[in-house]
Amino acid sequence: MNKMSFRYPVQGRYSIGNGYSDHVAIAEREGLCSEPFPAASCPKGYYYGGIDFFTTPPIGAPIIASADGPVAQIYDQSGGYGKGVKLSHSGGYQTVYGHMSRVLCKAGQAMKAGDVIGETGWSGNVWDGNGQRSPSAAHLHLELRLNGRAIDPMPLLVAGTVEVDGGLPPVTAPPTPSFALPDVPAKLKSIAYKTSSLITSAIRIRVNPIDGMMIDWLKPGEIINVISWVSHGNDYWFLGSKNDLKFGWVAALYNGEVWLVPA
């Protein structure tokens, strides 16, 4: 197989919400298939899993092509991807970019990695934490397909250095947490997201750190008991409990945002 590398489709400040495993779990919960074959065993259809990127600003941030290739399809749907773009790449790969506010390319147009193809938005099936369509849930949905089958993009994504016309704020080093690691407090309190780049004011609780399936929300002001923690690059994840009930992993420091503080 011709293995490629793909650039992150956004630059500047962003965070990653639902990952590939989250989308697969949602699809299976709704009776859709996370595998495309055989078609006869998928009466409700096949769901393409991907990754959700939340940018600053949430609407109108440039979306760039992750790799060289022509525009294979332009989407303009009332649901689904809403406004979006599909690019074809060598080796049988395709990338799909959904929920745009504007599409800035045309079908058949040859794109280079780093070219701006559109802007982030909330077109199509975009839902907030209350199950409502809302601009507060604006994000980019990215899919990576190989020979028509969705695969997890994360292992093939690499940081790019392409300058986007107009620019975005540079990525800054994460702040020092308000507690020392590994000497963490016994209790942490959620201060929720502090920027408008993310989907809601609550923190996702995941079954595993980093890219585990989302299982619940931790609301602002809620306090957890710390069971253990792990680090991933500059990010810190904590396994917590409430009322002696283990409930999952939450991020205290993620992409430069401090989300949990000592209680």
pLDDT tens readout for residues 58-81: 899 999 999 999 999 999 998 889
Could you tell me which of 170, 164, 146 has the C-alpha nearest to residue 156?
146
Phi, psi of 120 (to 5 degrees): -65, 150
Domain made up of 187-262: CATH architecture: Roll (2.30)
Give the residue with greater pLDDT, 247 vs 97. Answer: 97
The tokens of 146 are what? 């190989």
Could you tell me which of 97, 118, 116, 13 has the C-alpha nearest to residue 52?
97
Could you tell me which of 29, 31, 13 has the C-alpha nearest to residue 21?
29
**Tokens 């309190």 map to which residue?**
189
| pTM given for the model | 0.62
Continuous H helices in the chain: 20-29
Mean pLDDT of 213-232: 76
128: pLDDT strictly greater than 70: yes
CA pair distance 209, 216, nearest whole angstrom: 13
- Mean per-residue pLDDT over the chain, rounded: 76
pLDDT score recorded for residue 9: 93
Residues 27/21, Cβ–Cβ less than 8 Å: no
How many other β-carbons are positioned within 10 Å of the β-carbon of residue 52?
20
The class level of CATH for 6-158 reads: mainly beta
CA pair distance 203, 228, nearest whole angstrom: 18
Give the residue with greater pLDDT, 34 vs 32. Answer: 32
- 109-130 exposure pattern, b = at least 16 Cβ within 10 A, e = fewer: eebebbbbbbbbbbbbebeeee
Phi, psi of 157 (to 5 degrees): -85, 135
How many other β-carbons are positioned within 10 Å of the β-carbon of residue 220?
14
Mean pLDDT of 146-168: 62
Contacts of 252 (CB under 8 A, 6+ apart): 177, 188, 229, 236, 237, 238, 258, 259, 260
The tokens of 7 are what? 């650039």
Q: Residue 251's beta-bridge partner residues?
A: 237
Give the residue with greater pLDDT, 95 vs 232. Answer: 95
* Domain residue ranges in the chain: 6-158, 187-262
